[in-house]
A and B are shown apart, each in its own frame.
Chain A
């Protein structure tokens, strides 16, 4: 069984379009994340979300918005796509305990977004 899944795996679209990437985890984790990985493999956290709090990286444009219909899903919606949005987007999840730091994050396989 896939722990963290994302759809689609590849997404090619035109500038100005609106698109969504879906993420689901079946691990029962309470926190989910979205990361952007650029062409040099640098990972940038975009959002972290649990049932209590959404934390937004302040450098993320407000064209990006996470939507969580339930604890197992965190979708990423992107409005008015730009060329610079082309990247690989990773969803991840973890079980967060405020008193611990050792719980790992589990990553999805990634969605390669290409904006033309």
Chain B
């Protein structure tokens, strides 16, 4: 079945550091790929998405590029802020199927 793998956390960075959270996936077809963010005490909210190979999703300074050849969708941000501290989930969805979420990666940004 389909699956999503993320780098294990927690990830701890200083403010203004560069962020990468790795995500790789296994799918039988051509899924859409998503990054969701969960701030403390809240539900998940969509951060960005890409629906086909080579698409780049971006939002709030975060970016991720759909790489079909490496089955990856790594999340990057050039300069993190304390307010970016949250849990980040990579997810995929194939046509007619349910979402498949990764295990989440906790990010802590220190001032």
Tell me, in angstroms, the Cα distance from A45 to B44 when the chains sit together.
Answer: 14
Q: Is the CB of A102 within 8 A of B49?
A: yes
Interface status of A86 (Cβ within 8 A of chain B): no
The contact size tier of chain B is 20 to 34
Interface status of B98 (Cβ within 8 A of chain A): yes
Q: Is the CB of B34 within 8 A of A43?
A: no
Tell me, in angstroms, the Cα distance from A7 to B42 when the chains sit together.
Answer: 14
A41-B87, A45-B98, A45-B99 in contact; A109/B42 too (CB < 8 A)?
yes
Q: Is the CB of A107 within 8 A of B103?
A: no
Interface status of B77 (Cβ within 8 A of chain A): no
Query: B31, B42, B95, B99: which contacts A105 (Cβ < 8 A)?
Result: B99
Q: Is the CB of B43 within 8 A of A108?
A: yes
**Per DSSP, are chain A's interface residues mostly helix, strand or loop, or mixed?**
loop
Give the residues in chain A near B43, CB-CB below 8 Å: 4, 90, 107-110
Tell me, in angstroms, the Cα distance from A4 to B96 when the chains sit together.
Answer: 22
Query: A40, A43, A110: which contacts B89 (Cβ < 8 A)?
Result: A43
A32–chain B nearest beta-carbon distance, Å: 12
Number of A-B contacts (CB under 8 A): 54
Query: A43, A101, A105, A110: which contacts B104 (Cβ < 8 A)?
Result: A43
Give the residues in chain A near B89, CB-CB below 8 Å: 43
Q: Is the CB of A102 within 8 A of B87?
A: no
- Which residue of A43, A98, A107 has the most chain B CB atoms within 10 A of its CB atom? A43
Q: Chain A, 29-65, contact with B by CB distance < 8 Å: what is the 0/1 string?
A: 0000100000011110100100000010000000000
Give the residues in chain A near B97, CB-CB below 8 Å: 101
Tell me, in angstroms, the Cα distance from A33 to B93 when the chains sit together.
Answer: 14
Interface, chain A (partner B; CB < 8 A): 4, 33, 40-43, 45, 48, 55, 90, 92, 98-102, 104-110
27 contacts between A and B (CB under 8 A): A4-B43, A33-B98, A41-B38, A41-B103, A41-B106, A42-B103, A43-B101, A45-B99, A90-B43, A98-B96, A100-B95, A101-B51, A101-B93, A101-B94, A101-B95, A102-B32, A102-B49, A104-B34, A104-B46, A104-B49, A105-B44, A105-B46, A106-B46, A107-B43, A108-B43, A109-B42, A110-B43
